[in-house]
Amino acid sequence: MPRVHDLCARIQNGFRARLHQIAVPDTKMNLAVSNIMYHEGFVSNVVRGNHQKPDETYTPTTNDNVATRRLWLTLKYASDAPVLSRMNCVSKPSKRITLTVHEMKDLTSGRRAKGVQPLQPGEIAIMSTNQGLMEIHQALEKNVGGEILCRVR
């Protein structure tokens, strides 16, 4: 049951408050989504760390320190404006949205699909497929469909 609403809220709030870095819980899902955001250029750095600050040197996660482990994302701003304006969930527990490859092609070429508004220039969508979490264009290259988790603008 992939749910990214917590990450969406934290990232949006961090950008609105013009924070330099934010700490999110260190989970596999959060790490995967943060990696996609980093590769797409919304976030400039993804580092593991403490609840107080990122790690300077590599610190393995053990049973002792697992409660304080966080993921630190360095937020990006350009020309006096945040690079990310909106990050919201698409598939929610109240209404799950799964897309086939054909529907994904519609979304990326400016047509509405399954009640989801088409992607605008500069917008990305993060999909959860059976080959892992990836961006919608990567999923199209691999020809796999899946659940559309969130869209980032």
Partner 1 sequence: MALRHLTRAFTRLSLIPSVRSLSTVTTDLSRLHPLLDHTDSPPDLDQRTPFPVNRPPNLHLQQANEDVDSPLSKQEQARLQKKALVVKRVVNMNGKGKQPSMYALVVVGNGQGLAGYGEGKDEEASRAVRKATQRAIKNMRYFERYDDRTVFADIEHKFHATRVFLRTRPPGFGNRSNHYIHEICRCVGIHDISGKVMGSRTPMNVIKATFEALDKQTSIEDLARRRGKKVVDVQHVYYGA
Which residues are at the interface with partner 1 (CB under 8 A)? 40-42, 76, 78-79, 83, 110, 117, 120-122
User: Minimum distance from CB of 106 to partner 1 (Å)?
Assistant: 15
Amino acid identity at 82? P
H or E element at residue 141: helix 136-142
Closer CB to partner 1, residue 36 or residue 70? Answer: 36
Closer CB to partner 1, residue 107 or residue 146? Answer: 107
> By C-alpha distance, which of 101, 100, 85 is closest to 151?
85
User: Which residues partner with 81 through β-bridges?
Assistant: 78
Closer CB to partner 1, residue 2 or residue 82? Answer: 82
User: Minimum distance from CB of 60 to partner 1 (Å)?
Assistant: 31
User: Minimum distance from CB of 122 to partner 1 (Å)?
Assistant: 4
User: Minimum distance from CB of 123 to partner 1 (Å)?
Assistant: 8
Closer CB to partner 1, residue 123 or residue 147? Answer: 123
Helices 28-40 and 5-16: angle between axes, nearest 10 degrees: 50
In sequence order, what are the residues at sequence separation of 6 or more whose Cβ sits closer than 8 angstroms to the Cβ of residue 150?
Answer: 4, 8, 33, 87, 88, 89, 90, 125, 126
